[in-house]
A and B are shown apart, each in its own frame.
Chain A
Amino acid sequence: KAGVTQTPRYLIKTRGQQVTLSCSPISGHRSVSWYQQTPGQGLQFLFEYFSETQRNKGNFPGRFSGRQFSNSRSEMNVSTLELGDSALYLCASSTGATSNTGELFFGEGSRLTVL
Chain B
Amino acid sequence: GQSLEQPSEVTAVEGAIVQINCTYQTSGFYGLSWYQQHDGGAPTFLSYNALDGLEETGRFSSFLSRSDSYGYLLLQELQMKDSASYFCAVRDVRSGGYNKLIFGAGTRLAVHP
A43-B43, A104-B45, A107-B42 given as contacts; is B33 within 8 A of A48 (CB)? no
User: In the bound complex, what is the Cα–Cα distance between A45 and B98 (angstroms)?
Assistant: 12
Complex CA gap A44/B3 in Å reads 12
**Residue numbers in B under 8 Å from A35 (CB-CB):** 101, 103
In the complex, A82 has a CB within 8 A of chain B = no
In the complex, A99 has a CB within 8 A of chain B: yes
Q: Are B48's CB and A33's CB within 8 A?
A: no
Identify the closest chain B residue to A43 (Cβ).
Answer: B103
Contacting pair A101 B102 (CB below 8 A): no
Asked if A90 lies at the interface with its beta carbon under 8 angstroms from chain B, I say yes
Please provide the chain A residues from 17 to 35 with a CB less than 8 Å away from any CB of chain B in the complex.
Answer: 31, 33, 35
The reply to whether the CB of B54 lies closer than 8 angstroms to some CB of chain A is: no
Which residues of chain B have C-beta atoms less than 8 A from A108's C-beta? 40-42
Question: In this assembly, does B11 line the interface, its C-beta being within 8 Å of a C-beta of chain A?
Answer: no
Query: Does A97 reach chain B (CB closer than 8 Å)?
Result: yes
* B31 proximal to A (CB < 8 A): yes
B31 touches A104 (CB 8 A): no
Given contacts A33-B99, A56-B92, A108-B42, 11 further A-B contacts (CB under 8 A): A31-B99, A33-B100, A48-B97, A99-B98, A99-B99, A102-B91, A102-B98, A102-B101, A103-B48, A104-B45, A106-B35
